Amino acid sequence: MRRRAVLTALAATAAAAATDRRAQAAATPGVTATELKIGNTAAYSGPASAYGVIARTEAAVFAMINDQGGVGGRKIRYVSYDDGYSPPKTVDQVRRLVEQDEVAFIFATIGTPTNTAIARYTNGKGVPLIFLGSGADKWGDPKNAHWVMGWQPSYRTEAQIYTRYILKTKPDAKIGILYQNDDFGKDYPAGVRDALGKEFGKYVVKEVTYEVTDATIDSQILALRGSGANVLITAATPKFAAQTIRKVAEVGWKPLHFMTNVSISVGSVITPAGPENATGLISAAYLKDPTSPAWKDDAGMNQWRAFMAKYMPDADLTDAGPVFGYGVTMCLWQVLKQCGTDFSRANIMAQAANLKDVTLPVLLPGITVNTSPTNYHPIRQMQLQRFDGKTFELFGPILEGATA
């Protein structure tokens, strides 16, 4: 009788626990006993449509994860909408994801202006907006935006690294800066100012902006050349980055040229601009370049290539977009593994802020992912690289800037 009572009690406890788990799942939007729903917006169309392949890669990685059994006993359902890189559309689509689709959280939304348009809304709703497709420095502010976290290195940090290299190698530098007129672009002159301090006016001879709706940046390049600048720092999305590289060559200007790391894909930027026009271009990297022979036999890149062959066989393997998409989703997979079976929004955010020396197949050697409740800048290291006419060659040590 005592044994039967014990078994009955154990069964009742197990049933209560199962009921509690089902209740928790039902109480968490986007989470059921069998499914975890994740939301996203991306620029499948519009002026930044070159980034659309990133979200397509993320969808493919989730398919791979599902094929391997999913996470926490659940399959992932990835709901991604086109926002055309238009902030008003992003707002509409994210509201749709949160209020109609009832996703558990928003992942890897593309663009600084688009994320700026939604961050206050998602943060106010207590919806995690994590691993954004934007390196704006402001995404690392856990005190004021607990539910918002970036992923890639801060643009401001990147600009600091460029400026320190310029000071070391070109003491006669006259710096011109071309940047997109939004929070993405503005981080670059801010980073230059961080590094130069009171000497900003001594070195920077011209700052010029462009709007994402502009047709070309031809007049901006002519203005920068006319300023006498012998160094150019460009913070532009792929379409305008390619235009810049091509126009600089067309007018016979030969500055020491630094290009934001978000627009150095050989497939979507360098090839349209003309590889011969990009020779000597300097950028900073944290991901492995799919066109570099240095990674021909690399285990991590072989893993990426095997994934691409199976899940994205028609994709351009010279495009850096799928490398980013793979890396950021693999990082999310680590977060979801750490969640166990608790996919509440609070735990998702807690685990995203608890990553310790995470290595990913596509990160450069020596670069790891680290977060904490007070550190919302997951990747803070980069390495300089120079385009040699065919691919980017890394040089110098791993560098880390001081985020403001």
Tell me: pLDDT of 16 over 90. no
Q: Is 231 helix (H, G, I), strand (E, B) or coil?
A: strand
69 near 138, Cβ under 8 Å?
A: no
At 4, the pLDDT band (50, 70, 90 cuts) reads: low
At 152, the pLDDT band (50, 70, 90 cuts) reads: very high
Half-sphere exposure of 106 (CA within 13 A, CB side): 34
| CATH code of the domain in which 170 resides | 3.40.50.2300
pLDDT digits (tens, 9 = 90+) for 108-149: 999 999 999 999 999 999 999 999 999 999 999 999 999 999
* CA 98 to the chain's CA centroid: 21
Tell me: pLDDT of 203 over 70. yes
- Burial grade of 47 (CB within 10 A; 0-12, 13-18, 19 or more): middle
* 270 falls within a domain: yes
110 near 48, Cβ under 8 Å?
A: yes
Regarding whether 225 and 118 lie in a shared domain, the answer is: no
Regarding whether 205 and 312 lie in a shared domain, the answer is: no
* 379 falls within a domain: no
Regarding whether 144 and 34 lie in a shared domain, the answer is: yes
Regarding whether 253 and 395 lie in a shared domain, the answer is: yes
Regarding whether 259 and 391 lie in a shared domain, the answer is: yes
Give mean pLDDT, residues 212-234: 97
Burial 319-358 (b: 16+ CB within 10 A, else e): bbbbbbbbbbbbbbbbbbebbeebbbbebbbbbbbebeeb
What DSSP string runs through 162-209? HHHHHHHH-TT--EEEEEESSHHHHHHHHHHHHHHGGGHHHHEEEEEE
* 292 falls within a domain: no
Regarding whether 338 and 302 lie in a shared domain, the answer is: yes
**CA quadruple 257, 48, 261, 134: dihedral, nearest 10:** 140
* 378 falls within a domain: no
* 290 falls within a domain: no
Tell me: pLDDT of 23 over 50. no
Q: Is 198 left (phi over 0), alpha (psi -120 to 50) or beta?
A: alpha
Q: What are the φ/ψ torsions at residue 125 (nearest 5 degrees)?
A: -85, -10
Regarding whether 120 and 55 lie in a shared domain, the answer is: yes
Regarding whether 181 and 260 lie in a shared domain, the answer is: yes
| CA neighbor of 135 nearest in space, from 120, 119, 149, 121 | 149
* 231 falls within a domain: yes
Q: What is the pLDDT of residue 402?
A: 55
Q: Alpha-carbon distance 71 to 339, whole Å? A: 9
Q: Alpha-carbon distance 48 to 44, whole Å? A: 8
Q: Is 223 helix (H, G, I), strand (E, B) or coil?
A: helix
Regarding whether 276 and 201 lie in a shared domain, the answer is: yes
pLDDT digits (tens, 9 = 90+) for 265-300: 999 999 999 999 999 999 999 999 999 999 999 999
At 400, the pLDDT band (50, 70, 90 cuts) reads: confident
- Burial grade of 14 (CB within 10 A; 0-12, 13-18, 19 or more): exposed
Partner residues linked to 41 by β-bridges: 81
Give mean pLDDT, residues 241-262: 98
Regarding whether 393 and 309 lie in a shared domain, the answer is: no
* 1 falls within a domain: no
Predicted TM-score of the model (pTM) = 0.86
**CA quadruple 189, 195, 197, 202: dihedral, nearest 10:** -70
208 near 187, Cβ under 8 Å?
A: no
Average pLDDT, the chain: 93
Residue 279 in tokens? 């020779």
Give mean pLDDT, residues 348-354: 98
Kindly report the number of other CB atoms within 10 A of residue 286's CB atom: 21
Q: How many domains does the chain have?
A: 2
382 near 373, Cβ under 8 Å?
A: no
* CA 75 to the chain's CA centroid: 24
Task: Give, rounded to a whole angstrom, the gap between the first and last alpha carbons of the chain.
Answer: 68
Domain span at residue 341? Answer: 13-153+297-373
Regarding whether 243 and 390 lie in a shared domain, the answer is: yes
* 70 falls within a domain: yes
Regarding whether 347 and 253 lie in a shared domain, the answer is: no
